Structure 1
Amino acid sequence: MKKTISIILMMIFLSAITASTALAKCYRFQNEGEIQVCVPGDSFSDRKKAMEICKKAKGSDCGSVSSYSSSCHSNSNQCYDENGNAKRDLSGY
């Protein structure tokens, strides 16, 4: 019985992680601590587009995606949308 409960809890936990990853579309990068880029998807091509936007904004390679969230806030307008426009706040991603 304990084993069954443990398996069920593990499945719920893994489902929650998978769901949050699928919804996360605002990315931070390994070589850039300030810039975040928000795109409307979470596919390989969406991440690649986010890396290209970061590279254009920074002027050099930002590295690979290091973390993600569903929103971005920056006092120095370092949140970039899918069109490369700098914003202070982006949410709903």
Structure 2
Amino acid sequence: MKKLTLLFSLFLFTGILIPLSAKCFGFSKNKEITVCIDGNNNAARQQAQSICKANSGNDCGNITGYSGNCSASGKKKCLDASGSEKKSLKAD
């Protein structure tokens, strides 16, 4: 039981020290799609571009910026890391 408690405490402590830095990315060629995923490194940005391309069927262009949330309205779509469309996403 002590080992389990110690292991749980270690995971909790690590989770506090290393928070996820999720972002919602916008694109230069497709202003209608925003993709929200965990991370803000090159791998995360490439993943966001792949999700956008898979959803739109076209190259979405470069990432033009990021924010901490996305709200769908009109033609604007918010996609999560699985490519699923959501009404609202909060990344941070």
Following TM superposition, the consecutive aligned residue runs of length 4 or more in structure 1 with deviations greater than 3 angstroms are: none
Q: State the partner residue of 1:85.
A: 84
3-state SS of 2:48 partner = helix
Q: Which runs of 5+ in 2 are unaligned?
A: 1-20
TM-score when normalising by structure 1: 0.71
Q: In structure 2, how many angstroms separate the alpha carbons of the residues matched to 1:62 and 1:85?
A: 17
Is the Cα–Cα contact under 8 Å of residues 73 and 79 in structure 1 kept in the other structure? yes
Unaligned runs of 5+ in 1: 1-22
Return the structure number with greater helix share: 1
Asked if the contact 2:36/2:91 (under 8 Å) is kept, the reply is no
% same residue: 37
AA in 2 matched with 1:60:
N
Alpha-carbon RMSD: 1.8
Alpha-carbon offset, residue 67 of structure 1: 1.4
- The AA in structure 2 aligned to 1:85 is S
